[in-house]
Amino acid sequence: MERLVMNEYLNKVLEKTRRLNEEQPEYLQAVEEVLTSIEPVINAHPEFEKLAILERMVEPERCILFRVPWVNDAGQVIVNRGYRIQYSSLIGPYKGGLRFHPSVNLSIMKFLGFEQIFKNALTGLPIGGAKGGSDFDPKGKSEGEIMRFCQSFMTELYRHIGQDVDVPAGDIGVGAREIGYLFGQYKKIKDAYEGGVLTGKDICYGGSLARKEATGYGLMFFMREMLKKHGKSLDGKTVTISGSGNVAIYACQKAYAMGAKVVAMSDSNGCVYDENGIDLETIKKIKEVQRGRIKEYLNFHPNAQYFESVNSSHPIWNIKTDIALPCATQNELNIEEARVLLKNGVIAVGEGANMPCTYEAAKYLIENGVLFAPAKAANAGGVATSAIEMSQNSMRYYYTFEEVEHKLERIMINIFNNCAKASEEFGHSGNYLDGANIAAFKQLSDAMKAQGVV
């Protein structure tokens, strides 16, 4: 859906971006969302046009595409495509996760890289924006296949990264196991121990305590602050969480710790509903240990219900809830699903995944008074803690779990306050989607002006 803006300069840039990226719907969606919401800032800064601030903001510094050949257990050579989008080094080394999923393509990589520059700015830490990954599907692969793929991926990627250059981390399909194989190969090729070249490492060789928990915990800190500002709390609220991966699991853990009850979680095949509250230990066993399907939850809790996803539908959004947390993937909550959530009385939606709500869904929820925590801000706790992991690696020192969690909590409170302040300053009070985009854009445009035309 094309959005209306009045500012001529913005319209010119939007038109050019659409023309140049016709085949990249997710990328256009992310750019349009940001450019639409920063209109008041552009109106206040006519000098931005001469400096081509927006044109520079929507063009990645570098897009790297590469071949990833590897041998499967049957001896067959397979070729996947690898990506690294080094989007912006304005405020620090390129930083952003790697995603291994069959849906990965240039549009998805660029949208994630673009989102990442704003998210990283919001953390207040010195990290630029990047994203990478491959169309490799880790599902059903043996340990040996996963290791060989990761080694081949790093055999090309290593020449583009470094602890002061570009620092990848995990994302969908890339957890501590994959980061371990990637790190091992990097170290072997470079013959040097650069601890800070990857984040999301295991604790036994330089990872940070609380990194695994950080995105989900951070989401709940943001949610708590947002509810508090509007005189509400998590206590006694029901919560539904899509996904059952890293973000979803630790959002669930923190939601319980904050007094809420999580009644449903999902994976790409369907969702489980447990009116007594989802038993997180069972989910962790199925997903983190057995790497199974969420349906298996019923083997342990036969009174729970399972709803299969048909034709990529998301049955989880039909379940009545006070708070909905999309924590799986992009565009997993559309306008029809938003309508159902609202009809069922949802009071808040928090984006744990990147761009999980379509723009129409997000706008509809906000316009109808649902408190909306946008991904860039609400899920920034993961990358913020990655930056804390990098600083521990540089210092050759470890913080305790409590120290890291405390820093994370402070960062999330700051992010919320900055989004709230920016939304008020530009007359969009309570619209944290616009607030997040405006707060991040202001910092990035200041940095761009300060560094000249490079």
Active-site residue set: 131
Query: Is 380 in contact with 218 (CB distance < 8 Å)?
Result: yes
- Buried residues in 214-248 as b, exposed as e (16+ CB within 10 A): bbbbbbbbbbbbbbeeeebebeebbbbbbbbbbbb
Q: Which stretch binds ligand NDP (CB under 6 A): 22-30, 68-76, 242-250, 405-413?
A: 242-250
Write the binding mask 251 to 270 for ligand NDP: x where contact by CB under 6 A, - elsewhere: ----------------xxx-
We find the least distance from the C-beta atom of residue 323 to ligand NDP, in angstroms, to be 17
Residue 232 or 293: which CB sits closer to ligand NDP? 293
Q: By CB under 6 A, what part of segment 152-191 binds ligand NDP?
A: 170-173
Residue 287 or 428: which CB sits closer to ligand NDP? 287
C-alpha distances out from residue 225 to 19, 172, 347, Å: 40, 27, 14
Residue 10 or 168: which CB sits closer to ligand NDP? 168
Own/partner contacts of 153-159, CB < 8 Å, gap of 24 or more, are 153/68, 153/82, 153/182, 154/181, 154/182, 154/185, 154/186, 154/189, 155/185, 155/189, 156/66, 156/67, 156/68, 156/82, 157/66, 157/82, 157/84, 157/132, 157/182, 158/185, 158/186, 158/189, 158/190
We find the least distance from the C-beta atom of residue 347 to ligand NDP, in angstroms, to be 22
We find the least distance from the C-beta atom of residue 192 to ligand NDP, in angstroms, to be 26
Among positions 197, 226, 247, 304, the unique one binding ligand NDP when judged by CB under 6 A: 247
Query: Is 443 in contact with 451 (CB distance < 8 Å)?
Result: no
Q: Is 150 exposed, middle or buried (0-12, 13-18, 19+ CB in 10 A)?
A: buried
Among positions 132, 206, 382, 435, the unique one binding ligand NDP when judged by CB under 6 A: 382
Question: What does the DSSP 8-state code read for residue 207?
Answer: P
Identify the bridge partners of residue 240 per DSSP, sorted by sequence position.
264, 324
Residue 11 or 268: which CB sits closer to ligand NDP? 268
Residue 238 or 244: which CB sits closer to ligand NDP? 244
Write the binding mask 319 to 348 for ligand NDP: x where contact by CB under 6 A, - elsewhere: --------xxx--x----------------
Helix (H) or strand (E) holding 63: strand 62-71
Residue 132 or 352: which CB sits closer to ligand NDP? 352
How many whole angstroms separate alpha carbon 334 and alpha carbon 428?
Answer: 23
Write the binding mask 343 to 372 for ligand NDP: x where contact by CB under 6 A, - elsewhere: ---------xxx------------------
How many amino acids of this chain bind ligand NDP (CB under 6 A)? 23
The strand ranges marked E within 106-171 are 129-134, 166-169
Helix pair 381-395, 401-425: axis angle to 10 deg: 130
CA-closest candidate to residue 438, choices 136, 38, 102: 38
We find the least distance from the C-beta atom of residue 124 to ligand NDP, in angstroms, to be 16
Among positions 195, 245, 315, 374, the unique one binding ligand NDP when judged by CB under 6 A: 245
Tokens of 412: 């999330």
Among positions 89, 246, 393, 445, the unique one binding ligand NDP when judged by CB under 6 A: 246
Residue 14 or 223: which CB sits closer to ligand NDP? 223
The strand ranges marked E within 344-419 are 348-350, 371-373
C-alpha distances out from residue 127 to 87, 94, 240, Å: 11, 7, 32
Residue 10 or 278: which CB sits closer to ligand NDP? 278
We find the least distance from the C-beta atom of residue 233 to ligand NDP, in angstroms, to be 25
We find the least distance from the C-beta atom of residue 383 to ligand NDP, in angstroms, to be 6
We find the least distance from the C-beta atom of residue 27 to ligand NDP, in angstroms, to be 15
CA-closest candidate to residue 371, choices 434, 439, 431: 431
Q: By CB under 6 A, what part of segment 215-234 binds ligand NDP?
A: 215
We find the least distance from the C-beta atom of residue 157 to ligand NDP, in angstroms, to be 18
How many whole angstroms separate alpha carbon 445 and alpha carbon 244?
Answer: 37
CA-closest candidate to residue 329, choices 267, 421, 400: 267
Write the binding mask 108 to 147 for ligand NDP: x where contact by CB under 6 A, - elsewhere: ----------------------------------------
Q: Which stretch binds ligand NDP (CB under 6 A): 35-43, 86-94, 246-254, 417-425?
A: 246-254
Contact residues for ligand NDP (CB under 6 A)?
170-173, 215, 243-248, 267-269, 327-329, 332, 352-354, 379, 382
